[in-house]
Amino acid sequence: GILQHPDGTVLKQLQPPPRGPREQEFYNKVYDSNCCDSILLELREYLPKYFGVWSPPTAPNDTYLKLEDVTRKFNKPCIMDVKIGQKSYDPYASAEKIQQQVSKYPLMEEIGFLVLGMRVYHVSSDSYETQNQHYGRSLTKETVKDGIAKFFHNGYCLRRDAIAASIRKVEKILEWFEGQEQLSFYASSLLFVYEGSCQATTVRLSDVTLAEKRGVPRGLLSGGDILEYNNNIHLINATENGKIEASVSKGLSKFYAFHQKAYAKRQHSQLSLKVESLEQGRVWKSSTCIAQEHLNGNVIPRLEKVFCHMPAETKESAGVEVRMIDFAHVFPSSTRDEGYIYGLKNLIAVLRGILDN
């Protein structure tokens, strides 16, 4: 497996020959300090950074590739490994090896990719759900879209922002493949990582807003105006005198627990707060109904004070990384890697289908 070095990098043990030396040679070629090949220089953008090889003092004959930990910057990283291409065996594979690989997932040639595993953070339970390679191999043409959608669902909603950002990053990798004829990749994967905890969200007042209910001039918060706030501040507590307090660093679980309590008490006058993503404006879809009895005339200025003066950083999209990994079967070529391109296009189509749904 992958080990973690104390300096924050990860260590991937070199595989037996010829796979291990071939992968090391690939990294050495791409990250050569004297490299001036524009194709390879651009390729670096889509790989984990490479820091050479490392051996433990107690076992100097054990060699590890020292690589960037792509998940390091995330608080609750959601991770998916997707093998790309129509063939998971290289041109030099034996007939036995080919049969073995094809039998593992006969649909590989038609679908063009295979989900090798995923780990998804669920906000509702503050826990991870994990799926292994058997899950991916159980997916058919009819179920593969729902199978991948599972990776982007956090227990409450579909993370449309993460899907959209992932599509853009895969499209950049596709552009690179369509412009190069130097290398062919077999049994190589894309590593998807996105932030599972909600970083920056927005609050939108619906058409029936509190402003209208309380007689506040429409121009103050007219339909569609967005008030921004950082995820560390949630509207979750109602005090006895009816004021809403901004409670810092509280979990979404409490936010939704308050929703359940308030919903049970609600009267016919309500404020609908729809929490949505900054990037797509529609990720956190659960509508929270806060009873009129918990609100007073101070809520509008207080909302403005809390939501309208947040740092510009909250406007950035949720963190998403898509990197190419696993290069034990990369070979020189003189033509485009059509098998990999086919897989990327199919994967993009599936991701777009999830988003459009």
Per residue of the chain (357 residues), what is the pLDDT tens digit?
Answer: 799 999 999 999 999 999 999 999 999 999 999 999 999 999 999 999 999 999 999 999 999 999 999 999 999 999 999 999 999 999 999 999 999 999 999 999 999 999 999 999 999 999 999 999 999 999 999 999 999 999 999 999 999 999 999 999 999 999 999 999 999 999 999 999 999 997 543 333 333 333 333 444 433 333 333 333 333 323 333 333 333 333 333 333 343 344 444 444 444 333 333 333 333 444 333 333 333 334 444 444 443 333 333 333 333 444 899 999 999 999 999 999 999 999 999 999 999 999 998
Q: Are residues 165 and 109 part of one domain? A: yes
Q: Are residues 113 and 56 part of one domain? A: no
The boundaries of the domain holding residue 15 are 1-69
* Total domains present in the chain: 2
Alpha-helix residue ranges (DSSP H) falling in the chain = 19-30, 38-43, 95-104, 108-111, 133-137, 144-149, 160-178, 210-213, 252-265, 299-307, 338-356
Query: What phi-psi label fits residue 62: left (phi over 0), alpha (psi between -120 and 50 degrees) or beta?
Result: beta
Q: Could you tell me if 205 and 304 are in contact, meaning their C-beta atoms sit under 8 angstroms apart?
A: no
Residue 248 lies in a domain: no
Biggest distance spanned by C-alpha atoms of the chain: 77
Residue 144 lies in a domain: yes
Tell me which residue has tokens 């910057």. 73
User: What is the distance between the alpha carbons of residues 178 and 169, in angstroms, rounded to a whole number?
Assistant: 14
Q: Are residues 23 and 99 part of one domain? A: no
Instruction: Give the list of residues 6+ apart from residue 167 with CB closer than 8 angstroms, or none.
Output: 348, 351, 352, 355
Q: Are residues 55 and 79 part of one domain? A: no
Residue 309 lies in a domain: no
Q: Are residues 52 and 183 part of one domain? A: no
Cα distances (angstroms) measured from residue 154 to each of 121, 127, 159, 213? 6, 10, 7, 33
Q: Could you tell me what percentage of the chain is helix, strand and coil, using 3-state DSSP and rounding each to the nearest 5?
A: 35, 25, 40
Last residue of a domain, one of 25, 48, 69: 69
Q: Are residues 185 and 82 part of one domain? A: yes
Q: Would you state the pLDDT for residue 357?
A: 84
Q: Are residues 63 and 82 part of one domain? A: no
Last residue of a domain, one of 69, 89, 122: 69
Last residue of a domain, one of 15, 39, 69: 69
Q: Are residues 75 and 65 part of one domain? A: no
Residue 282 lies in a domain: no
Q: Are residues 178 and 76 part of one domain? A: yes
Helix (H, G, I), strand (E, B) or coil at 254: helix
Amino acid (one-letter) located at 284: W
CATH number at residue 155: 3.30.470.160
Q: Would you state the pLDDT for residue 60?
A: 94
Query: What phi-psi label fits residue 326: left (phi over 0), alpha (psi between -120 and 50 degrees) or beta?
Result: left
Q: What is the pTM of this model?
A: 0.69
Q: Would you state the pLDDT for residue 199?
A: 52
Residue 263 lies in a domain: no
Residue 236 lies in a domain: no
Q: Are residues 322 and 194 part of one domain? A: yes
Q: Are residues 335 and 191 part of one domain? A: yes
Q: Would you state the pLDDT for residue 1?
A: 78
Query: What phi-psi label fits residue 242: left (phi over 0), alpha (psi between -120 and 50 degrees) or beta?
Result: left
Residue 18 lies in a domain: yes
Residue 58 lies in a domain: yes
Q: Are residues 85 and 38 part of one domain? A: no
